[in-house]
Amino acid sequence: MTVAMSTPLTYSQIVEVFTRFRNDCAEPKGELDHVNAFTLVVAVALSAQATDKGVNRATQELFRIADTPQKMLDLGEEGVTEHIRTIGLYRNKAKNVIKLSRILVEDFGGEVPSSRAALESLPGVGRKTANVVLNMWFKHPAQAVDTHIFRVGNRTGLAMGKDVVAVERAIEDRVPAQFQQHAHHWLILHGRYTCKARKPDCAHCLINDICTFEDKIYDQTL
């Protein structure tokens, strides 16, 4: 994952950036549908190389009938497969959903653990997924860095790093405490809808006067 780096923003600039994000959307939400911690884990695991909308379509019925690890085990791998067939890598993901459900039942009493290490011990759950669950369900200010955040962090000068872990640490180190809980959601939404990879919408960007990206695009007809 590579992206051109800009000049790092100052503390006061970072405060202004997140103040604008907060004023625009005080309580940003994740876009994956879920009803509890377990369905959130499954949804985030399924979202790898898939869109949130696609995952939501696939899990709408799945989560209605299997919203606990035991119910997912009762449904079985083939049952899970049928529900998520429209998602990329669905066969491998179905296997992981069953495996992680079994581990949750056997090792965690059917409950989703609240530590990063325990979450990462589950099949199909990496650091990003663990951080999403910690942040969204357990309200821990973990920073789940995906391609959007990696791009926005480096492009704007907010949180720069050569890999996702470096950007994660940069957010933790540089973003003031009062913005930490919602930081990754603001950055994901900004990257998804405004600071897009190929054609950033700089003309409608809340922070275009602060961002240090040199190749800003204002003419959207290009």
Per-residue pLDDT in tens (0 to 9) along the chain, 222 residues: 555 567 999 999 999 999 999 999 999 999 999 999 999 999 999 998 899 999 999 999 999 999 999 999 999 999 999 999 999 999 999 999 999 999 999 999 999 999 999 999 999 999 999 999 999 999 999 999 999 999 999 999 999 999 999 999 999 999 999 999 999 999 999 999 999 999 999 999 999 999 999 888 776 554
In the predicted model, what is the mean pLDDT of the chain? 94
Active site residues: 128, 146
pLDDT in tens, 151-166: 999 999 999 999 999 9
Per 3-state DSSP, the chain is made up of helix, strand and coil in percentages (nearest 5) of 55, 0, 45
Query: In the chain, how many H helices and how many E strands?
Result: 10, 0
